[in-house]
Copies of this chain bind each other. A is one copy, B any other.
Amino acid sequence: MEPTAYLESLRPAGSKRSSKRDLIVNVFLRQEGHLTADDLFDLIRREDQKISRATVYRTLQWMIDAGIARKVDFGEGRFRFEHSYRHPRHFHLICKTCNHSFEFLSSDIEVLLEEVAAARNFTPGQSVLQIHGTCEACRTGRPAPAEAGATSLVFARDALRIAIATERSGLEFYTRAARVAKDARGRRVFEKLAEEEREHLATLETRYRELLQQDRQLEAHPTFLFFKGAANGLFSAGAEQLMSGVNDRQALMIGIRCERGSHRFFKRYGERFEDSEGKQIFLEFADEERAHLELLIREYRGLVERQRRTPARAAKRKTRRAPASA
């Protein structure tokens, strides 16, 4: 959505247009950091000498009601304001030396927060998380790479990186499982799964390259979204040693488990974000995993059906496995 349409969509009911307010809102949206009311007042004064502090405060409150602005409190004894246009919610790193602040988000932390709230029978709304300390620039004396630009693009970048890492992890797992598998049918299933992961991975990597072209410096931005759960959660160490004796049906079942885990993960977390390209990426990825999952389930059912029609073979297979599983 374009800025103007975005503003119109958020205008509170029963409010009138006003050139003063428009000016304040526009100047505010043009800014990047976390402004105090006074910072904004100074900026406004450069364009219109007549606007009073009271109007700036009133407009800030209006923007908060409209959802354009968020009020943040860094413990300085006054508030700061940040706009939310193309700017997902986030937590803060705050340098106590230069008073600059840096943004990040961590799904892992958000999950833990929800768990704490649930354990204490608390209905959580917004959370405030600030790490106070010293930034790299203040510690080393050398200027840090500027953290400017569209946060929502960085968010999308990180979402894609996470999806790619997950896919790579799946690919590696299936590849190793295929290498280890002794049963020819089981191995073939793993090989096919690996091939499918490879294809999906290629799609994601293409999309990543396309995203990078939207902003020359996108890769230089530090990580915004921290999210480690997705890439490792599915495959436990040592599991591959169990893969060696796996047949085709079991291999398919393993694939189903993996894809289901992946789908749930991305659906669950995608739903947590507000509208943004990053959210979109998570939900699309979840959808693709679901589609793949359904495909695997159909294959599995087909396989079971076929084995039921040739009971001799199924019985033989069962007999052969019996002593090992006892």
Contact = CB atoms under 8 A, between A and B. Distances in A.
Interface string A94-134: 01100000101010110011011101111111111111111
A294 interface: no
A112 B112 contact: yes
Interface of A: 71, 73, 75, 77, 79, 93, 95-96, 102, 104, 106, 108-109, 112-113, 115-117, 119-136, 139, 144, 222-223, 226, 236-239, 241-242
Given A75-B73, A122-B102, A117 B129 contact: no
A139 B223 CA distance: 38
10 contacts: A75-B128, A77-B79, A93-B116, A93-B122, A113-B131, A116-B131, A120-B136, A122-B134, A125-B133, A236-B239
A102 B123 CA distance: 13
A129 B132 contact: no
Contacts of A135: 121-122
A122 B128 contact: no
Contacts of A112: 106, 108-109, 112, 226
Given A115-B226, A236-B236, A127 B132 contact: yes
B126 A132 contact: yes
A128 B130 contact: yes
A144 B120 CA distance: 11
A241 B115 CA distance: 31
A123 B134 contact: yes
A316 to B, nearest CB: 24
Contacts of A108: 112
A128 B117 contact: no
A106 B118 CA distance: 14
Contact of A136 (B71, B121, B226): B121
Nearest to A115: B226
A313 to B, nearest CB: 26
Nearest to A103: B120
Contacts of A237: 236
A128 B129 contact: yes
The 6 A-B pairs of least Cβ separation, nearest first, read: A236-B236, A121-B136, A124-B133, A128-B130, A125-B133, A123-B134
Contacts of A226: 112, 115-116, 119
Given A95-B122, A120-B223, A125-B131, 18 more contacts: A77-B79, A93-B120, A96-B125, A113-B131, A116-B131, A116-B226, A119-B223, A121-B136, A121-B144, A122-B133, A125-B134, A126-B133, A127-B132, A128-B129, A129-B130, A238-B238, A238-B239, A242-B242
A85 B80 CA distance: 32
A197 B102 CA distance: 46
A75 B74 CA distance: 9
Contacts of A125: 96, 131-134
A131 B139 contact: no
Contacts of A104: 116, 120
